Amino acid sequence: MAKQCSVCGKPIGFMESFLDLDTANHYACSKCNDIISDFSRIWSTDSVEQAEEIRKQADEAISAKASELTNPQILRDYVNHSVDKKISFILKRQQRTEEQDTFTPDEADSYASLRSKLILSTAGTLEGYSIKKQLGVVYGETVFKPSAGQQFASAFGDAFRAFSFSAKEMKGQVSIIEEARKFAYVKMMKAALELGANAIIAIDSDNTIGDSICYLSLYGTAVYAEPKPE
């Protein structure tokens, strides 16, 4: 059954791209999606002020086209829901800047188990699969502070490797970051499975590496996909 744009009321073509508005059977056709084409910046913003400015700009763009739309409020609801979700994420991250997450062996086991249940891709599509449902954006973030022992061991090993012309990276620091990334993946994959997803597409990351506090965020779109018939 062909989808219908919830914003302008027009049918969405079979080959036409569309935006899932994260609500029950609400979609925006490519034309209505273009009204808020700059709204995707919300996912890379890192301050409440920037998020609110993006909300304001999106609302102005919708208002400018409101007379041509059947239900512009649905598009506004999507914008407001997404901005509120992003602001909540930013505030939680700020509250946790002094906390330290610890990656335990149990969580390492969870990573292997969860990874076997999901297809992960940085692309927006899955080769050989049809995406039947987009379930929403999922996140996995961690704010961590390497212990004094980790910092010393990392710096000690890196100091010796720095004398080698074959050394291409500071492996002590890289090891800590890889550990944190795996921890963030666990959080993101758990969130996707809770939504009933079997894949995460369009995976991207946001990193801030400081002298003492480090922040790592992974995010992507949780989807349910089925293999295409041969």
Which amino acid appears at position 34 of this protein?
A: D
Total Cβ atoms within 10 A of residue 192 = 28
Model confidence over 169-178: pLDDT tens digits?
444 455 667 7
Looking at the structure, tell me whether residues 129 and 188 fall in a common domain. yes
Query: Who contacts 26 (Cβ-Cβ below 8 Å, separation ≥6)?
Result: 6, 20, 74, 78
Task: Let me know whether 20 and 100 are in one domain.
Answer: no
Q: What is the count of structural domains for the chain? A: 2
Domain that holds residue 154: 96-230
126 and 50 housed in the same domain: no
| 64 and 119 together in one domain | no
Average pLDDT for 199-213: 81
Spatial contact of 184 and 141, defined as CB atoms under 8 Å apart:
yes
Question: For residue 92, what are its two tokens?
Answer: 């939680």
- pTM score, two decimals? 0.46
Q: Which residues pair with 139 in a beta bridge?
A: 219
Question: pLDDT at position 145, please?
Answer: 64
121 and 146 within one domain? yes
Q: Which of 47, 46, 54 is nearest to 78 (CA)?
A: 54
Tell me the CA distances in angstroms from 10 to 5, 63, 66, 115, 182, one per residue in order. Answer: 5, 19, 15, 40, 43
Same domain (yes/no): 171, 226: yes
72 and 111 housed in the same domain: no
**What pLDDT is stored for residue 137 in this prediction?**
94
Which of 95, 114, 132 terminates a domain? The answer is 95
- 80 and 140 in a single domain? The answer is no
Give the residue among 199, 201, 152, 210 at the shortest CA–CA distance from 177.
210
Instruction: Considering only residues 221 and 22, tell me which one the structure prediction assigns the higher pLDDT.
Output: 221
- CA dist 113 and 196 (Å) reads 16
For residues 55 and 118, what is the distance between their CA atoms, to the nearest angstrom?
33
The last residue of one of the domains, among 50, 66, 95, is: 95
| DSSP classification of residue 191 | H
- Assess whether 173 and 79 both reside in one domain: no
- DSSP H helices, the chain, are 30-35, 48-65, 72-95, 105-115, 148-161, 171-194
pLDDT, tens digit, 9 for 90 and up, residues 93-107: 777 655 544 545 455
| CATH code for position 210 | 3.30.110.70
| pLDDT tens-digit map of 136-156 | 999 998 876 654 344 433 433
Same domain for 102 and 91, yes or no, is no
Q: How far apart are CA 155 and CA 183, in angstroms?
A: 22
Residue 53 confidence (pLDDT) = 94
Pairing mode, if any, of strands 199-209 and 119-120? parallel
Among residues 73, 95, 117, which one ends one of the domains?
Answer: 95
* Whole-angstrom distance, CA of residue 203 vs CA of residue 37: 19
Residue 202: closest CA among 120, 128, 141: 120
Residues 18 and 37 in one domain: yes
Among 101-105, 185-189, 215-219, which stretch is predicted with the lowest mean pLDDT? 101-105
Mean pLDDT of 67-84: 90
Q: Is the pLDDT of residue 81 over 70?
A: yes
87 and 58 co-located in one domain: yes
DSSP 94-133: HHTTT------HHHHHHHHHHHTT-EE-SSSS-TTEEEEE
**156-165 pLDDT per residue, tens:** 343 333 434 3
